[in-house]
Amino acid sequence: MKKIIFLFILCWVSLAYAHAETIVLRTGARVRGTIVFQNEEVVIVRDTEGARFQYPRADVETILTDEEAPAEEETKAEEQAVQTTKKASILVELGGNGSFVPQGDAGGGFSADLLVGSHHIGDRHIFIGGGFGFHGLFIGSEVYNFLPIQAALRMPLIEGKHAPMFGIGIGYGIGLSKNYTGGLYAGLQFGYRYQINEKSAIGLLLFADFQQAKVTVTESIDGADFTHQVGRNIVSPGLKFAFYF
């Protein structure tokens, strides 16, 4: 008889905990056990040690079965991994362009920029960061090399795998020759971005850069040479490729 009672209790306990649930509270705390009673106002739970706890229904976020709990844990782990990858991103932009001085000579050039920042702001794949680059410009018979240091924003107009986007950058372009000095740098771009995954993307963009400079020139007046600096605004429209990783 005692053996029968013992087996009955053992089976009851096994069945009870075979259907254990996980109670997730709004505070984030979790209680694993068996729901003894629940209605619209209260949930009573017996934990794995047999103790009973009562919670107001309003404090209960959700109730998970044993089958659902592992899946939710995996989802949380994946979300945590994604959040980790969102902390920092590198943006490389490579471009070719034309260059000209308003009411002056024209030519061509190229640009390469390396930016570091965040590629995920809120629920959007928005890049905010800063960095530096190298811009080589050929105008008439002159060559101008600048090292632009900039703060940059790159933002898709819609959120999706394929999206139009625009970008702006502003900073200071350092002149890399004694024959000219740098000045204000600003850039504007518009184009297409393809989102590969949460962190990686590529883009094809039309852009226009503006660079101020002061150029040292020598003029001859009545047989005498005079050296002075002339302000020059250089405009560079072109096409560039962008790589986020």
For the stretch 194-239, pLDDT in tens is 998 877 899 999 999 999 999 877 767 766 667 777 889 999 999 9
More confident: 73 or 189:
189
Q: Give the model's pLDDT for residue 7.
A: 45
Average pLDDT over residues 51-70: 77
- pTM for the model: 0.62
Same domain, 59 and 159: no
Q: Which of 85, 115, 144 is the last residue of a domain?
A: 85
Nearest to 183 by CA among 233, 217, 230, 140: 233
More confident: 10 or 171:
171
Half-sphere CA count of 228, side-chain side, radius 13 A: 7
- Does the structure show a pLDDT above 90 at 147? yes
Same domain, 31 and 57: yes
Average pLDDT over residues 141-168: 93
Task: Read off the CATH number of the domain in which 26 is found.
Answer: 2.30.30.100
Q: Which of 85, 120, 144 is the last residue of a domain?
A: 85
Look at the block and give the residue holding tokens 């844990």.
Answer: 73
Q: Give the model's pLDDT for residue 17.
A: 44
DSSP 87: S
Same domain, 210 and 224: yes
Write the pLDDT tens digit of every residue in 11-33.
444 444 445 788 888 777 888 88
Nearest to 152 by CA among 240, 202, 90: 90
Counting Cβ atoms within 10 Å, is residue 23 exposed (0-12), middle (13-18) or buried (19+)? buried
Same domain, 51 and 142: no
Same domain, 233 and 116: yes
Same domain, 143 and 228: yes
What is the percent of the chain with per-residue pLDDT over 70, rounded to a whole number? Answer: 80
Report the chain's mean pLDDT, rounded to a whole number: 82
Compute the distance between CA of residue 183 and CA of residue 171 in angstroms, rounded to an integer. Answer: 9
Same domain, 208 and 172: yes
More confident: 71 or 22:
22
Task: Read off the CATH number of the domain in which 149 is found.
Answer: 2.40.160
Domains in the chain, number: 2
Q: Which of 35, 70, 85 is the last residue of a domain?
A: 85
Given pLDDT bands bounded at 50, 70 and 90, which one contains residue 154?
very high
Range of the domain at 235: 89-244
- Does the structure show a pLDDT above 70 at 68? no
SS3 71: helix
Query: Dihedral angle at the C-alpha atoms of 47, 53, 57, 63, nearest 10 degrees?
Result: -10
Same domain, 76 and 94: no
Compute the distance between CA of residue 188 and CA of residue 25 in angstroms, rounded to an integer. Answer: 48
